[in-house]
Amino acid sequence: MQTRTALVTGAAQGLGQEFAVALAGHGYRVAGLDLEPQPRTAEQIPDYVELVGDVSDPDTVREGLERIIDRCGALHVVVNNAGVYPAKPFEETTLEDWRRVMRVNLEGPFLVTHSALPYLKAAGWGRIVNITSAAVLTAPPTMVPYVASKMGLIGFTRSLAAAVARHGITVNAIAPSMVRTATAERTVGADGGFEYVRSGQAVVRTQVPADLVSTLLYVVDEGSGFLTGQTLNVSGGSAYL
């Protein structure tokens, strides 16, 4: 099998960093796109292609993909992981709050996937993985825009899977529970969010990024070509789902 190339968005830290390092460990050439520089990711991955910019900016995305092709020659896997999840009462949510969440969480995957699709088709094989959330079912009341965006991403996954299947490309989503990352600690950790989610799980511990790696590797595997349009719920057996 030829060496595959993967793009991971939101690769500077947390779940995206874990995914990028895991893919590199399984023989992929890896590129990462994030608003921030990615030194901790780059130091763990040989020949890492670091792309700094906004996933919701069309020029940034297009130029980043051109750099990947220039460096690696092809693209096979896209992991749409970048996302934002501000917690705020709905009555205090502004239109700009709503639009920012939608730009990053829903328009970002659209732009990245739309720009990457010609390269995946040219490769004759592809895997698109969208990171959604189990929150679409638990529906936390202070995260209305986030839940709406992630539910939209599930619809995007299902419909796109049907649109690209004839090109040998699969599209699936992974829905984690609340993952302990630095961003989550700042956003919901102080309010007891981890404890609340953990109390309703069969696996009574807080999810960490490493818990999602085996699912990602399964979805992108050469042998998973019959799996498409699906959302894999990895939430520790949550009683709320």
What CATH class has 5-179+209-231? alpha beta
| Residues 59-117: tens digit of each pLDDT | 999 999 999 999 999 999 999 999 998 888 999 999 999 999 999 999 999 999 999 99
Which among 213, 215, 101, 108 is positioned nearest to 156, based on CA atoms? Answer: 108
Quote the tokens at residue 53: 């910019």
Structural contact between residues 144 and 201, judged by C-beta atoms closer than 8 angstroms: no
pLDDT at residue 238 greater than cutoff 90: no
- State the pLDDT at residue 224: 98
| Segments making up each domain of the chain, as ranges | 5-179+209-231
- Give the end-to-end CA distance of the chain in Å, rounded to a whole number: 39
pLDDT of residue 30: 98
Alpha carbon of 77 to those of 52, 205, 206, 217, 232: distances in Å?
Answer: 19, 30, 28, 11, 17
pLDDT computed for residue 130 by the predictor:
98
Residue 224, classified by CB atoms within 10 Å of its CB into exposed (0-12), middle (13-18) or buried (19+), is middle
Respond yes or no: is residue 146 known to be catalytic: yes
pLDDT, tens only, 157-212: 999 999 999 999 999 999 998 776 766 666 665 555 777 777 677 787 887 889 99
| Mean confidence (pLDDT) of the chain | 91
User: Quick check: 124 pLDDT over 60?
Assistant: yes
**Residue 212: predicted pLDDT:** 94
Q: Annotated catalytic residue: which of 146, 196, 218, 240?
A: 146
Is the pTM higher than 0.85?
yes
